[in-house]
Chains A and B, each alone.
Chain A
């Protein structure tokens, strides 16, 4: 979302936003704003209703006293003002359990690909999760191009929303440079009070608007209001890392032998909650499920976790990451270094879900800040 051209932000802003700021040196004129549209909030439910015959529509709904991404059967269920969810919308692109082939063992055994996924609109995606999905796109298209992920992803439209207030004390999106996104969505909404400003990020997004929405082109006054809303937003979000995120990979690179890992290993319960709720964790196990006829069945991939005891255990019994300390180190190294080395994306988007889920208060903010502190002291 890049309409906050005249907004001044804290000088120590994360690098992604700094790039955006430079982009916005030129003030935006109405002529250039071809992709900015206004949808009245009172018309938004109709927009959702009209797409429902053609798409599976999912988004945040109230659930067990909190919020969760779920199927939208009535537009009124949509709670686009949600603070956060336990599970990220990743589950629609990389489901917890996903068929990767079906087989039949009858004489002359057969294997077939899984059925085609349903076209889906994912509504209300926060920008941290937009960044998470961009990382998954890169992971599943680098080297071997994963057919299951690509099939789901190319049939999914992402309607994201600009966060205007922090979800809670655990999110650190501003430090991670994910407090906004200027790509990775088909449509991007900003709440202006009575209406949404809608930025179009793709041809598919344009189609969605034209086909289903009652919308008007934004005028200069709309742009000014948008800039004002965005301007008010940024100071509300604190920086939680004590250093610039661009230093994170090198901090981790020097932390392989930090005593912190042993400390985390002693606290960690190896429950895998952190990886299960993470928008960028993509490791999976593969299992066969067979029907009662003992002939037909399916091969599924299910979310797995590097925090579980047997994640790296081979059939002979040797475990290559036996201690919880080594497994915690592996997790944080992936988030801040390994994934970046391989894919040019940081493996952490600052959503804070793992911190909320952890039973023993292991949080990425504390871990990263502590490693930084150890190195400051060391030098």
Chain B
């Protein structure tokens, strides 16, 4: 039943005819990152930028297999006619993607969703807390902040993975750790014989840092189980709810707010998210 008096008049002129049609793009490079993850560099036609913001995702198609939402791992500040997807082999589509090599084509729709509001972060201290594969989307934001380093305050990265072999982007972690204007702490749940660094879950790294909560933005992404604990640390450090940003994972099929899979109560994560300030999802029963 209609509760207001606005009846839509549908016309075919309004229809977005390309909405479900992926653009076929060439894979320029494939790198094995860990046993489970590969980094795909995708070439954009005529060197145009993807036009994304950190935290957004694309829907990747393997024709004949299906489509899956994948967060964009490269920073808009490093476009150069390419973008990167760091993909774990987890389902049918990602398994098929892992079988592709440079020169093969994938279908791409997007970018979709709401990313990080980077312009609001300028002048602030940035505290990044990626867990596991959660570094893939956060790397986009981290690298933009690094590329525009002068416009931000402190940059702190607390990264946790299950074991040393699952650490992503080891070269960049080394670079960040060695940089004088980035504070980067890495931990693993369980070390191996060669591991000399921190052990313990990612939240154990919070005791290593001292922050100015009123000027700090917290950004986190990781497995579903991690959020509650990281939130407790953020709030314990005194961050305000509006300055805590979470990138939430959900099942998505359409990416455009129709298919219903990504709904968190009444919120479509593919449209209103996947990046949310904590203040927006605090009251949502199914968010965390």
User: Given the complex of chains A and B, what is the CA–CA distance between A293 and B266 in angstroms?
Assistant: 42
Asked whether B14 lies within 8 Å of A150 as measured between CB atoms, the reply is yes
Asked whether A290 lies within 8 Å of B14 as measured between CB atoms, the reply is no
Q: Of A137, A144, A154, A287, which contacts B12 at CB under 8 A? A: A154
Interface Cβ pair total, 8 Å cutoff: 174
Asked whether A318 lies within 8 Å of B224 as measured between CB atoms, the reply is yes
Looking at the assembled complex, report how far the CB atom of A94 sits from the nearest CB atom of chain B, in whole angstroms.
10
User: Given the complex of chains A and B, what is the CA–CA distance between A109 and B223 in angstroms?
Assistant: 35
Q: Which residues of B contact A118 (CB under 8 A)?
A: none
Q: Which residues of B contact A141 (CB under 8 A)?
A: 8, 10, 14
B17 contacts A by Cβ under 8 Å: yes
Q: Of B7, B68, B257, which contacts A184 at CB under 8 A? A: B7
Number of interface residues of B (CB under 8 A): 53
- Closest residue of A by beta carbon distance from B24: A109
Looking at the assembled complex, report how far the CB atom of B230 sits from the nearest CB atom of chain A, in whole angstroms.
16
B4 contacts A by Cβ under 8 Å: yes
Asked whether B286 lies within 8 Å of A344 as measured between CB atoms, the reply is no
Interface positions, chain A 107-159, Cβ under 8 Å from B, are 109-113, 131, 134, 137-141, 143-148, 150-151, 153-154
Q: Of B12, B17, B107, which contacts A113 at CB under 8 A? A: B17
User: Given the complex of chains A and B, what is the CA–CA distance between A134 and B7 in angstroms?
Assistant: 8
From A98-106, A214-222, A364-372, the one touching the partner chain is: A98-106
Asked whether A137 lies within 8 Å of B259 as measured between CB atoms, the reply is no
User: Given the complex of chains A and B, what is the CA–CA distance between A273 and B209 in angstroms?
Assistant: 53
Looking at the assembled complex, report how far the CB atom of A20 sits from the nearest CB atom of chain B, in whole angstroms.
12
Q: Which residues of A contact B266 (CB under 8 A)?
A: 333-334, 337-338, 341-342
From A25-33, A160-168, A225-233, A305-313, the one touching the partner chain is: A305-313
Q: Of A177, A284, A330, A344, which contacts B263 at CB under 8 A? A: A330
Q: Which residues of A contact B285 (CB under 8 A)?
A: 256
Q: A146-B258, A150-B15 are in contact. Are A345 and B3 (CB under 8 A)?
A: yes
Asked whether B16 lies within 8 Å of A144 as measured between CB atoms, the reply is yes
Asked whether B1 lies within 8 Å of A245 as measured between CB atoms, the reply is yes
Interface positions, chain A 269-304, Cβ under 8 Å from B, are 282-288, 290, 294, 297, 299, 301, 304
Asked whether B251 lies within 8 Å of A311 as measured between CB atoms, the reply is yes
User: Given the complex of chains A and B, what is the CA–CA distance between A379 and B258 in angstroms?
Assistant: 37
A53 contacts B by Cβ under 8 Å: no
B37 contacts A by Cβ under 8 Å: no
Q: A146-B19, A146-B258, A338-B265 are in contact. Are A177 and B94 (CB under 8 A)?
A: no
- Closest residue of B by beta carbon distance from A284: B259
Q: Which residues of B contact A150 (CB under 8 A)?
A: 10-12, 14-15
A183 contacts B by Cβ under 8 Å: yes
Q: A134-B7, A183-B7 are in contact. Are A344 and B2 (CB under 8 A)?
A: yes
User: Given the complex of chains A and B, what is the CA–CA distance between A165 and B2 in angstroms?
Assistant: 23
User: Given the complex of chains A and B, what is the CA–CA distance between A105 and B7 in angstroms?
Assistant: 42
User: Given the complex of chains A and B, what is the CA–CA distance between A153 and B10 in angstroms?
Assistant: 8
Q: Which residues of B contact A90 (CB under 8 A)?
A: none
A197 contacts B by Cβ under 8 Å: no
A321 contacts B by Cβ under 8 Å: yes
Query: What 1/0 mask marks residues of chain B from 3 to 37 whose CB sits below 8 Å from any chain A CB?
Result: 11011101110111111111010000000000000
Asked whether B1 lies within 8 Å of A137 as measured between CB atoms, the reply is no
Number of interface residues of A (CB under 8 A): 73
A260 contacts B by Cβ under 8 Å: no
Q: Which residues of B contact A330 (CB under 8 A)?
A: 263, 265, 286
Q: Which residues of B contact A38 (CB under 8 A)?
A: none
Asked whether A304 lies within 8 Å of B24 as measured between CB atoms, the reply is no
Q: A178-B1, A256-B285 are in contact. Are A315 and B15 (CB under 8 A)?
A: no
From B58-66, B72-80, B192-200, the one touching the partner chain is: B58-66
Q: Of A109, A137, A145, A256, which contacts B63 at CB under 8 A? A: A109
User: Given the complex of chains A and B, what is the CA–CA distance between A349 and B251 in angstroms?
Assistant: 28
Looking at the assembled complex, report how far the CB atom of B42 sits from the nearest CB atom of chain A, in whole angstroms.
15
Asked whether B20 lies within 8 Å of A137 as measured between CB atoms, the reply is no
A65 contacts B by Cβ under 8 Å: no
Q: A109-B105, A144-B256, A313-B251 are in contact. Are A345 and B2 (CB under 8 A)?
A: yes
Looking at the assembled complex, report how far the CB atom of A320 sits from the nearest CB atom of chain B, in whole angstroms.
6
B253 contacts A by Cβ under 8 Å: yes
Extra contacts, 13 of them, besides A184-B7, A301-B259, A316-B223 (Cβ < 8 A), are: A105-B64, A109-B105, A145-B15, A145-B19, A284-B253, A288-B66, A306-B263, A314-B249, A315-B68, A318-B224, A320-B224, A326-B286, A338-B265
Measured CB to CB, the residues of B under 8 A from A are 1-4, 6-8, 10-12, 14-22, 24, 61, 63-68, 88, 90-91, 94, 105, 107, 223-224, 249-251, 253-254, 256-261, 263-266, 271, 285-286
7 residue pairs of the A-B complex, CB under 8 angstroms, read: A284-B259, A286-B67, A306-B260, A312-B250, A320-B286, A338-B263, A345-B1
Measured CB to CB, the residues of A under 8 A from B are 14-16, 100-101, 103, 105, 109-113, 131, 134, 137-141, 143-148, 150-151, 153-154, 176-178, 183-184, 245-246, 256, 282-288, 290, 294, 297, 299, 301, 304, 306, 311-316, 318, 320-321, 326, 330, 333-334, 337-338, 340-342, 344-346, 349
- List 4 tightest A-B contacts by C-beta distance, closest first: A283-B260, A315-B91, A338-B266, A315-B90
